[in-house]
Amino acid sequence: MNEILEKLQETFGDRVSISQSLDQTVAHVAAGEIVSVVTFLKSQGFRMLIDLSAVDWLTREPRFDVVYVLYHLEHRQWLRLLVQVGGEEPQVPSIAHVFAAANWAERECYDMFGIRFRGHPDLQRILMPDDWQGHPLRKDYPLTGTDPLPPLVRE
Amino acid sequence: MADTELGKVDPETGLKPMVINLGPQHPSTHGVLRVRLALDGEQIRACEPVIGYLHTGIEKNYEDLTFNQGILLTDRMDYLSPITSNLGYVLAVEKLLGVEVPRRCQYIRVLFAELSRIASHLVWLGTSAMDMGAMSPFFYCLQQRELILDLIEAAAGTRMNPSYFRVGGLLNDLPPGFMERLQKFLDGFPAWLREYHRLLDRNPIWLDRLKGTGVITLDQALDYGWTGPALRASGTDRDLRKWNPYSSYEDFDFEVATAQDGDVYARYTVRLREMEESLKIIRQAIENLPEGEWHVDNWKIYPPNKADIGRNMEALIYHFKHFTEGMQVPVGETYAAVEGPKGEIGYYIVSDGSGKPYRVRVRGPSFYNVQALPLLVQDRMLADVVAAIGSIDIVLGEVDR
């Protein structure tokens, strides 16, 4: 495991920084590098994308952390990748062509946080209705709605 | 959820494929899954699962709940096996707190996790057999599941949403007489397991419908993030209970059921074997159940009991703190995962040091497993879709959250 991390550090230099969080390894990755980092890690045996989601830090700039959880089949360990994104229209390159699992996960992330995944084959809402306004998991999105309920039957 | 163009126009005839909806209200989609299918006769040319009909904003709701209140929501995701969802959540919070629960508590947790694994597999077996037209397994399975729910009720007070595991312990110790009831179930169940085999293993319709249907290779399954019995039917033994043991699973002697074919029948054999292994684990848990405490002895983490509150001022204050602002969890983030009946249930929790979690992300196995449905049914017959959905064993509460 450590060898892979060293290799990762060597290959990407200061665009990747590795740290420990409790008992798990976390790698902070520059937004532009995520596709090459994930492709590299996949070739090193991280065969599974376990999860992809985001955290909204609201007052921080860049505002969002996109969180990738990978799993190594031989070392039997998880690795977390964090990518910081921000700006008016937060954007990350899509990794749906590297891991098929990322397709829906990125759609959910877009739906819930409004983070756009560049190069995603079909980036549209997945859990909320298509005409929904706003992105529910953002911290500035209210917990209870003030608008009247949508009509039961749509025209 | 937009209705995109599905399937291609045949260039020779200029005919469009027929697009039909399977679900969201359809008994064989096991919940409110909607599947859009482009058909050429009875053959499937394109398939698109559409989800979101059971979205209840669970991850959003966590923003306004204390860590202990959050346990309630875990019950409502995988409602066929709420106990394992409880387990993943409390393990994640305990990891952030840096506490380890007493061994008796760990063993009781294992015992209940395996009971609910059997309960979940029984519902899956009953409903998938019913999808294939076999009515009797459904009754025999649900009847046995009822006994497990009775056991859960005896310990937790409720059948379906037990919230039995708490941060730092359990709701209660095992009630008096529990072991006798559990033993009665364990004595009776193996005969029923044989009966399920007898009903289905040599049933020609069952075999014809299942063998060679919904095939997924190991590479594809890994690529789609498949976990649990569905993945193990494609030829790997990735089981977190063995690979990344938690809650003292390393003490137990059991085998991981696998199969090679990756078809619906392989997934059937894996799940049935898993029930046998779960029985083995439960028997060991009973035999080696340690005596002693069943929760951590720390009022900051596990609330004081009622008798203490009446006698002790300090206990009263801690109780008050617990149920107003919630327990204080140190700043940090962690990912904890357990092996549920459907696969890896993971919780990514970020704490900002207050009484409420800053972010709770739930990695539901069904969400990732159902995504590969189009792969399983491409160019197959319409009726195979039903078999394929059943074999993935999805729970929509967990897909949509």
Whole-angstrom CA distances from A152 to A111, A149, A155, B35 are: 22, 8, 10, 21
Model confidence, pTM: 0.89
> Is there a domain that residue B285 lies in?
yes
CB B216 within 8 A of CB B262: yes
The Cα–Cα gap between B228 and B230 comes to 5
pLDDT in tens, B283-305: 999 999 888 888 888 888 888 88
Residue type, B187: D
pLDDT in tens, B105-146: 999 999 999 999 999 999 999 999 988 888 888 999 999 999
Whether the CA torsion B278, B234, A45, B343 is positive or negative: it is negative
Residue A18's pLDDT is what?
83
- Who among B60, B346, B372 is closest to A143 (CB)? B60
Listed residue (B37, B75, B122, B13) closest to B386, CA to CA = B37
Cβ B350–A128 below 8 Å, yes or no?
no
Full residue range of the structural domain in which residue B180 is found: 58-298+337-375+383-400
Question: Within 13 Å, how many C-alpha atoms sit on residue B342's CB side?
Answer: 34
Residue A146's pLDDT is what?
66
Bridge-based pairing state of the strands A77-85 and A24-29? parallel
Residue B1's pLDDT is what?
43
- Who among A51, A125, A136 is closest to B348 (CB)? A51
CB A16 within 8 A of CB A9: yes
> Is there a domain that residue B18 lies in?
no
The DSSP call for residue B159 is S
What does the mean pLDDT of chain B come to?
89
Q: Does the pLDDT of residue B3 top 60, yes or no?
A: no
Q: How far is A27 from chain B (nearest CA, A)?
A: 13
pLDDT in tens, B325-353: 888 888 989 999 999 999 999 999 999 88
Average pLDDT estimate for A122-146: 85
Under CATH, which architecture does the A2-118 domain have? Answer: 2-Layer Sandwich (3.30)
pLDDT band of A10, cuts 50, 70, 90: confident
N- to C-terminal Cα distance for chain A?
Answer: 56
- Who among B61, B95, B371 is closest to A101 (CB)? B371
Q: Identify the CATH number of the domain in which residue B218 sits.
A: 1.10.645.10
Domain ranges of chain A: 2-118
The Cα–Cα gap between A118 and A106 comes to 10
Top-confidence residue, A140 or A155: A140
- Which residue's structure tokens are 């919630």? B326
Residue type, A12: F
Cβ A127–B55 below 8 Å, yes or no?
yes
Residue B151's pLDDT is what?
92
> Is there a domain that residue B137 lies in?
yes
Average pLDDT estimate for A121-140: 87
Listed residue (B388, B370, B381, B386) closest to B133, CA to CA = B386
pLDDT cut 70: percent of chain B above it: 98
pLDDT in tens, B177-218: 899 999 999 999 999 999 999 988 888 988 988 888 889 999
Residue A86's pLDDT is what?
85
Closest alpha carbon within chain B to A56: B359
On whether any CB of chain A is under 8 Å from the CB of B64, the answer is yes
- Joined together, the tokens standing for residue A114 give 């409004």
How many domains does chain B fold into?
1
On whether any CB of chain B is under 8 Å from the CB of A113, the answer is no
Q: What ipTM was assigned to the predicted interfaces of this complex?
A: 0.89
pLDDT cut 90: percent of chain A above it: 32
Could you give the dihedral angle defined by the CA atoms of residues B120, B122, B125 and B130, in that order, rounded to the nearest 10 degrees?
A: -110
